[in-house]
Structure 1
Amino acid sequence: MADEGQKPIIVKRVKKGGHGHHGGAWKIAYADFVTAMMAFFLLMWLLGSTTKGDMEGIANYFKTPLKVAMQGGSGSGNSNSILQGGGKDLTRRNGQVKNGDIEPNKKSMDLKSAREALEKQEAARLEELKQRIQQTIDANPLLRKYKNQLLLDVTSEGLRIQIVDEKNRPMFASASAQLQPYTRDILDVLGLVLNDVPNRIGLSGHTDSTPYSTAEGYTNWELSADRANASRRELVHGGLSDAKILRVVGLGSAVHLDRADPFNPINRRISILVMNKRTENAVLHDGTPLDVPGESADAAVKAVAEATGGGLAQPAAAPAGKK
């Protein structure tokens, strides 16, 4: 009976098999994590290397994207496209300005610099003309004799060629506008040379201060104007186109070459002005600067206006006794 009360203990041993295959899902998760970390560090690096202006532009874009895209501005782009704000140049500090690989064709006109450049070129051309005339005089035996009577200088109005009297060699017959033969030779050569330049020409006649008048009212003013006009005719005869002559005036004794001696024969002269562009424009627009050296210009202009009425006097018979 005792044996029947004890039940045998049965131990069951379960034999476990090997571990099953877990798969590769964890690798995908790890790869996503690494990618996210890389993107995060790239973002931090870009934010650290971006300029303040670009950051402001990016911030403004995300705040009001349509406003920035339509209006553009600093930090958002200054492209010349219809819709501002675009571009490919991310290195600009104050916004993008390129909307493609081709640079926009921007032309700026500096009128002052262009005018100065033209004036320099014209001054060089007039200086070259001066040298050419001097060489022509030196090469011509006939003109070389009168070299002392030809004065050349470049002024603010252009190239001035003055043919002056000498004591024993006047350009005109006494008290008249009749040219001496050697004066004709000089003007013929100058007419041919001056016709090769595009500049316009102005002539002015001058006398000394020796008093002179007639009963008909013919004075130094009329005499100087007639002599300037006679010189014009001879220049045209020598080959100068009449269309190139823009101004012919008589200044009488108002403007002396020798201010210390108003009776010096050198004050009797014909002045030929090869005008620069500025002087030519002033004459064409009635802002007429006369070929008057020195501080007496205003007085000379006033005297010309009062005495000649702005034009040439009609020639009249003049008595002898005046040079």
Structure 2
Amino acid sequence: MRIRRTVGPFDVAGLSLGCMNLSHAYGTPPDRATAERVLLTALDRGVDFFDTAALYGFGANESLIGPILKPYRDRIVLASKCGMTGVDGKRVIDGRPETIKRTADEALARLGTEVIDLYYLHRLDKQVPIEDSTGALADLVKAGKIRTIGLSEVSAATIRRAHSVHPVAAVQSEYSLWTRNPEIAVLETCRELGAALVAFSPLARGFLTGTLTDPASQLEDKDIRRQMPRFDVAHYRQNLGLLPGFFAIAKEIGCTPAQLALTWVLAKADHIVALFGTKSTGHLEENLGADSVTLGPDVIARLDRLINPSTVSGARYNPATQSEIDTEEFHTGGNHRG
């Protein structure tokens, strides 16, 4: 029996699938046949919450997963995102109401569905009041085009402002042992408002799996991690020093490092969904095995002491990308910047 979590009116698997890297961001995407195997294997193993976005492959990801999952539409909760899309081959943040509504119509067509279960504002457009963007999402709910609304990579203050316009069902933010920003205020705000925290990159973008030992040689030129300071040679070399202790705890518990990372995320609060991505059915099966792992408070405390904002080296994003992010940031005396 899979761990279950609540997202708005939906009951979903706590371990759910982010579909981004089937089309976008982490090097060369898999071919369609491989992507289909990943999606249908996830479905077969009890995953019923699938996450995509207009940005991913500039529409390609929605076009990929829509037809594959359409025969099973009544069995899944389907999430997508607006407010950050591809325009003339470039990523553009645009939270204007008219753009949100147009993007929703385009997403519905690509996904081949009459309604999107959860529709997020992918990024806060700092030129548009959050109340205006949320109002557009609320209009889409009234029109029956989406069922619930969400926000991504935003602060507690922004969540509260949006929630005053329309209930927020979920907030998606990066959350893992090495990215703790939601712990500042967002995690508690979500709990207070009855929203789920959908934790993306719970495996620390591959770092916690131990498979990425040399980003300089292992990452393709277009891999987004090449633009992230933590993956720079000097920072990454220092971060690798955290892994032996982490691996030792995984061995002690009797699970893989990936399963330990996912279990830690789910153990932090019962309103968290761990949203992982993979191109491999093997890794998919391994990750879903986290359902059978249990961590005691002492183990969680040891993990917290080992990998945290004071022990991780390097900022999460480069300055240009960070300027687009609305989340609260840590300011510590340790190695972490940002």
TM-score, structure 2 normalization: 0.25
More strand, by proportion: 2
The structure with the larger Rg is 1
